[in-house]
Chain A
Amino acid sequence: MLPSGTYNVSYSQDMAIVRTRLQWVVLVAFLVALFALPRFASGHVLSVLNGIGIMLIAVHGLNILTGYTGQISLGQAAFMAVGAYTSALLTARLHLPFWIALPSAGVSAGAVGLVFGLPSVRIKGFYLAMATLAAQFIIPWMFIHVRADITGGVSGMVVPPASLGGFIFKSQESMYFLVMSVAVAMTFFAKNLVRTRTGRAFVAIRDNDIAAEAMGINLFTYKLLAFFICSFYAGVAGSLWAHWMRAINPDHFTLMDSIWYVGMVIVGGMGSTLGAILGTTFLRLLSELVMTVSPQIGRHFPVLAANILAALGPMLFGLVIILFLIFEPRGLAHRWELFKASYRLHPFAH
């Protein structure tokens, strides 16, 4: 809903994402604040934000696949692993520059995503979830057992820091600028993708695939395209992750992580770019909260002290997902829309 007093009088106004001057001010202020933050924030805050930025990219991809196209994937972490390993192999073994490794990671993850997306042409819903679940086991297994001499097997491999034009991203702070720049660019792309012909085709497939096909949408092409884009995002996220962590092994990309990403899409609100941001931030901050609160709880209940840290995270995550599914299946983005509608209409009820 538009703020009161704002009318669309031309097509370009109707299509604009940012409609009013105030929205421009808020957007610019947000971006300035985002990139000015390292001046004020501590290293720990920056590392948390780096984590959020990287996961956000993966969640954006998953949101395009699950939220917009309606295909379930439980393999996002595995596709991230493909990106991470591609980037690591290219920079550490072949000594290629980072600006080549980053897009290559996306493309290679996208290609692997295509392979595991192929079953989506025949099957859907729960069966598709199973196919991507298989990816989640087969891909890390291959990194461990096939050519362990170059991937380092179980122990993984050490990754050189990212560098661009002679500048080396070594500290959390410099990494922050890299991660946030990529995250903002990928968010911009995701937001606009779903407004194009392709994005509308995705939504049509989600809402009713048979009707979409009858309207001339090639399901084969568009479903695979959705898988490619989703995995491309995962690959880019994986590449950043590798150069951020500077060491990778298959344990970083487990089924549990994949489920977290789906959880972030659900908590944020499926089929909403803003939702991906809200969901990722919310769940990451929640787990950060668990880290700080658990020792306190442990002090008050010594019986539980030993296990509380390992136990509270999974329990809370499970609980949050179930509560969101039951009480707010449209996620935080929907709440935000309701809030916006109410203040824009204030003082009227409708």
Chain B
Amino acid sequence: MTNLLQFLLTGILVGGVYALIALGLVLIYKSSRVFNFAQGDLVMLGGFVTWTLVARLGLPLWASLPVALALAWVAGLLVERLALRPLIGQPILAAVMVTLALSYFFKGFTILLWSADRRVFPEFFPTAPVKLGEIVLSQHLLWTFVVSVLAFGLLTIFFWRTKAGLLMRAAAEDHQVAQSMGISVKGVFAFTWSIAAMVATLGGLLLGSINGVDPTLGAIGLKAFPAVLVGGLESIPGALIGGLTVGIVEGLAAGFIDPSLGEIAPFLVLLLILLFKPQGLFGLKRIERV
């Protein structure tokens, strides 16, 4: 029983990180119908930029986070303008391939500037594990989870309470209708990429604070793909629930069946979802028969 609770809670905490990355994916997919395979690499890049500001330049966290987010904003705009916008209206393979190519590019770029070594952040959070009865939880993970959920809450408020959020929801609904209402759909795309890059940078900081940052951090994005599909590609609450589900499945599979099974459990879930409910739990069901 204690074991079950332990694996469950750890799974939920890890799931919070997946959810944060999944959120970036959902934002971009919702507005522009592009699935960003490079989200994990944006996380890695954001982690390295934040590390440079914090550890290399010695800025305090309250100063370096806004700077890192501002840089992410610019990077998001650039990526959208240079790589994605010329491909609007191209076949699906182009959209899939361009973000895969971006992922390659970011990886090389990171190695060029920072080398392939692991870089460790100074401690932001207390390190002592938290004990709940017999259950031991990493304080890092706990804080990461809290920040992830906070970011989720902020973005949800942003979507439902601000004008920019309204524009984004309109563009997600239908590009042509939004355009005819005087909304700049391209502007929304650019804005979405900026927000996704910022969310990724936050994720990079959080993940980096746990294990440090290195170029393999980009692979975390792969774990977020099953999360997005479980939750549904267009659903923001779905990203949270999908992320937690994947975290729990991973934790339980690794804990009860075989530690190595944890690595691929999310992908087994992914296959099942694709076979039985491709639109995910909360995604839009498109009526189209093949």
Evaluate whether A122 and B260 lie within 8 angstroms (CB atoms) in the complex, with A304-B112, A318-B104, A321-B97 already known: no
**Is the C-beta of A224 less than 8 angstroms from some C-beta in chain B?**
no
- CB pair B270 A307 closer than 8 Å: no
Question: Which residues in B have some Cβ–Cβ distance to A below 8 Å?
Answer: 35, 83, 86-87, 90, 92-98, 100-109, 111-113, 115-116, 222, 225, 229, 258, 260-261, 263-264, 267-268, 270-271, 274-275, 278, 289-290
Q: Which chain A residues border B108 with CB–CB below 8 Å?
A: 310-318
Q: Which chain A residues border B105 with CB–CB below 8 Å?
A: 314-315, 317-319, 322
A307's contact among B95, B115, B260, B268, by CB below 8 Å, is which?
Answer: B115
Given contacts A74-B100, A307-B112, A321-B100, 19 further A-B contacts (CB under 8 A): A72-B93, A119-B274, A123-B278, A130-B229, A133-B270, A134-B267, A134-B268, A255-B222, A307-B113, A311-B111, A311-B112, A314-B104, A317-B108, A318-B103, A322-B101, A325-B94, A325-B101, A326-B87, A329-B90
- Number of A-B residue pairs, CB cutoff 8 Å, is 137
* 11 A/B residue pairs, CB under 8 Å, sorted by A: A122-B278, A127-B278, A134-B267, A138-B267, A144-B260, A314-B108, A317-B105, A318-B106, A322-B83, A322-B98, A326-B86
Closest to B261 in A: A145
**Is the C-beta of A189 less than 8 angstroms from some C-beta in chain B?**
no
- CB pair B263 A141 closer than 8 Å: yes
- CB pair B271 A119 closer than 8 Å: yes
**Is the C-beta of A217 less than 8 angstroms from some C-beta in chain B?**
no
Q: Which chain A residues border B229 with CB–CB below 8 Å?
A: 127, 130
Interchain residue pairs A-B with the least CB separation, the first 3? A318-B105, A315-B108, A314-B108
Evaluate whether A318 and B278 lie within 8 angstroms (CB atoms) in the complex, with A145-B260, A209-B290, A311-B111 already known: no
- CB pair B101 A263 closer than 8 Å: yes
- CB pair A219 B290 closer than 8 Å: yes
Evaluate whether A130 and B225 lie within 8 angstroms (CB atoms) in the complex, with A122-B275, A314-B111 already known: yes
Inter-chain CA distance A23–B94, complex, in Å, is: 34
A325's contact among B98, B106, B261, by CB below 8 Å, is which?
Answer: B98
**Is the C-beta of A88 less than 8 angstroms from some C-beta in chain B?**
no
Q: Among the interface residues A119, A126, A310, which one has the most CB atoms of the partner chain B within 10 A?
A: A126
Q: Which chain B residues border A137 with CB–CB below 8 Å?
A: 222, 263-264, 267
Q: Which chain A residues border B111 with CB–CB below 8 Å?
A: 307, 310-311, 314
- CB pair B96 A307 closer than 8 Å: no
- CB pair A138 B264 closer than 8 Å: yes
- CB pair B290 A121 closer than 8 Å: yes
**Is the C-beta of A131 less than 8 angstroms from some C-beta in chain B?**
yes
Considering only residues 230-289 of chain A, those with a C-beta below 8 Å from chain B are 255-256, 259, 262-263, 266, 270
